[in-house]
């Protein structure tokens, strides 16, 4: 990404580095493109937000869904001198790379004022590079949740509070003939989320920060400890179809495996956006059939891993500024909040805007939290932490496939990390 950014900087030197322009008056003839990772139900919800902007301004917005390939798409588009006007990026590491290469436009004073007054400082910090604000988290995520099928487990089920209780619950459900845990291993990011929750609790926040910054190697004993702990839940007999099927199961299907009409599992780990999949792809009802509990505790201190998608501007035009300013507002966030599968870090979004008590509870916990750690893979350079079939994602898939190769897997990951950081 750094090499591509250097090429792109030479090709775009006149357009993307200056101060953001003020929003124009009549934007009826303006066209703008937004690129993000969202597809399916998430894309549909975001396009409702963009529709509201079009109605307000008269501008025409084109949405490009790049999925997990967003970093590659941005690199290619930047190198070709035709970036999208706005991008919504899941990786703060990529935001930093682009900002340091001079490829992002700083936010307007109006947007920064909204961020200062309506967002907790942690969210502003994620979009700030060398003291300049280049982005803000539009869609946040609480990635420390385990969802379960309340109908199947029955009213007497007590959610496990500790990791030992969680593993024991999986064992009991397996012993009576079930395959309790659905894992979306085809998407490497779901596996890194598992690791990050376990590592944050087994190694602690300071070690988490050091590993994310590659101040300690991936061969550090703390990493192996976390993986061996995680393996307690990743036993083949706990997974529908075993490990091979888990590695072919995408995130959406992992949720449907639990809450669909023909469920094959009872638990699925992932963030609050599970609710969106449940609402769109199943007949289960959030808060009734689909409930959650916090990620099981491995120590005495509670911890939350968060994720988020950061809005940045790559062109300096009035319509770009107007859209970014709009996306920073509680008005824009409330549109998606009402659809479900979404949490805004904007404190001005009223709890009543969320469609159910479950989502409201998750939102209030996350928005009010100050001591959180951001998704580790998203803090890394994209080549290491955000590339399909490579780096951290691949290492976790390799580990799920064969935990016995842990030493070789970590050695390979450390070699990749060392090369990535040396070249960044």
Query: Which tens digits make up the pLDDT trace of 243-253?
Result: 999 999 999 99
**For the whole model, what pTM was predicted?**
0.77
What was the pLDDT predicted at 2?
43
Mean pLDDT across the chain: 90
In what helix (H) or strand (E) does residue 337 lie, and over which residues does it extend? helix 330-337
Could you tell me the CA-to-CA distances from 96 to 34, 53, 128, 262, 377 in Å, in that order? 19, 27, 8, 44, 14
What was the pLDDT predicted at 368?
67
Instruction: DSSP letter for 162, please.
Output: B
pLDDT confidence tier of residue 68, bands split at 50, 70 and 90 = confident
Same fold, 2-141+306-371 and 145-303+389-423: yes
CATH code of the domain occupying 145-303+389-423: 3.40.190.10
What was the pLDDT predicted at 370?
54
Instruction: DSSP letter for 18, please.
Output: S
**Which of these, 314, 330, 339, 404, lies nearest to 36 by C-alpha position?**
314
In angstroms, rounded to a whole number, what is the distance separating the alpha carbons of residues 13 and 390? 31
Q: In this structure, are residues 354 and 67 in contact, taking their beta carbons and an 8 Å threshold?
A: no
- Please report where in the chains the tokens 């090499």 appear, as a residue: 3
Who wins on pLDDT, 64 or 91?
Answer: 64
Percent share of the chain, pLDDT over 70: 92
Range 166-177 average pLDDT: 98
pLDDT confidence tier of residue 279, bands split at 50, 70 and 90 = confident
Q: Residue 3 burial by CB count (10 A; 0-12/13-18/19+): exposed, middle or buried?
A: exposed
**CATH fold of the domain at 2-141+306-371:** D-Maltodextrin-Binding Protein; domain 2 (3.40.190)
Could you tell me the CA-to-CA distances from 391 to 95, 163, 266, 413 in Å, in that order? 19, 27, 30, 6
What was the pLDDT predicted at 382?
83
Q: Distance between alpha carbon 139 and the CA centroid of its chain, in Å?
A: 9
- Please report where in the chains the tokens 């400890």 appear, as a residue: 225
Query: Measured at the alpha carbon of residue 199, what is the angle toward residues 193 and 200, in degrees to the nearest 5?
Result: 90
pLDDT confidence tier of residue 17, bands split at 50, 70 and 90 = very low
Q: Where are the domains of the chain?
A: 2-141+306-371, 145-303+389-423
Chain segment 27-63, per-residue pLDDT in tens: 888 999 999 999 988 999 999 999 999 999 999 999 9
In angstroms, rounded to a whole number, what is the distance separating the alpha carbons of residues 305 and 308? 10
pLDDT confidence tier of residue 11, bands split at 50, 70 and 90 = very low
In angstroms, rounded to a whole number, what is the distance separating the alpha carbons of residues 377 and 284? 31
Query: Measured at the alpha carbon of residue 415, what is the angle toward residues 413 and 417, in degrees to the nearest 5?
Result: 70
What lies within 8 Å, CB to CB, of 67 at 6+ separation is 37, 39
Among 224-228, 229-233, 285-289, name the one with the lowest average pLDDT: 285-289
Q: Answer whether residue 422 shows pLDDT above 60.
A: yes
Q: Where are the alpha helices (DSSP H) in 80-187?
A: 92-100, 109-118, 121-126, 150-153, 163-175
Could you tell me the CA-to-CA distances from 33 to 154, 335, 355 in Å, in that order? 48, 20, 29
What was the pLDDT predicted at 322?
97
Q: Token pair for residue 381? A: 């350079």
């Amino acid at each position: 990404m750094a090499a591509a950014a250097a090429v792109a900087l030479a090709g775009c030197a006149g357009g993307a580095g200056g101060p953001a322009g003020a929003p124009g008056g009549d934007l009826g003839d303006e066209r703008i493109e937004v690129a993000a990772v969202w597809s399916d139900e998430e894309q549909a919800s975001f396009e409702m937000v963009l529709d509201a902007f079009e109605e307000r301004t008269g501008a025409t917005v084109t949405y490009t869904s790049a999925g997990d390939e967003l970093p590659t798409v941005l690199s290619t588009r930047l190198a070709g001198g035709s970036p999208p006007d706005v991008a919504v990026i899941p990786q703060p590491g990529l935001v930093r790379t682009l900002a340091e290469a001079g490829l992002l436009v700083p936010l307007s004073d109006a947007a920064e004022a909204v961020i200062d007054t309506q967002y907790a400082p942690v969210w502003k910090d994620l979009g700030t590079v060398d003291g300049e604000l280049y982005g803000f988290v539009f869609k946040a995520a609480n990635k420390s949740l385990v969802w379960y099928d309340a109908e199947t487990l029955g009213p007497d089920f007590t959610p496990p509070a500790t990791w030992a209780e969680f593993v024991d619950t999986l064992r009991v459900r397996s012993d009576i003939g079930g395959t309790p845990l659905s894992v979306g291993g085809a998407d490497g990011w779901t596996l890194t989320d598992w690791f990050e929750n376990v590592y944050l609790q087994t190694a602690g926040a300071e070690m988490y920060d050091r590993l994310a910054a590659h101040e300690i190697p991936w061969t550090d004993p703390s990493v192996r400890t976390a993986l061996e702990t995680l393996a307690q839940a990743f036993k083949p007999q706990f997974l529908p179809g075993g490990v091979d099927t888990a590695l072919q199961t995408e995130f959406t299907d992992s949720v449907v495996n639990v809450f669909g009409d023909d469920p094959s599992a009872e638990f699925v780990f992932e963030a609050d956006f599970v609710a969106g999949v449940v609402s769109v792809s199943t007949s289960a009802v959030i808060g009734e059939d689909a409930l959650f509990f916090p990620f099981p505790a491995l120590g005495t201190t509670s911890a939350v891993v968060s994720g988020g998608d950061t809005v940045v501007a790559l062109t300096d035009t009035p319509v770009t500024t107007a859209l970014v300013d709009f996306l920073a507002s509680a008005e824009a966030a409330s549109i998606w909040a009402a659809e479900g599968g979404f949490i805004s870090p904007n404190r001005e979004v009223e709890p009543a805007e969320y469609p159910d008590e479950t989502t409201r509870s998750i939102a209030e916990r996350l928005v009010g939290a100050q001591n959180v750690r951001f998704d580790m893979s998203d803090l890394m350079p994209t080549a290491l932490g955000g590339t399909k079939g490579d780096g951290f994602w691949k290492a976790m898939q390799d580990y799920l496939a064969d935990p016995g190769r842990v030493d070789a897997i970590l050695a390979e990951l450390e070699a990749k990390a060392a090369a990535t950081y040396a070249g960044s």
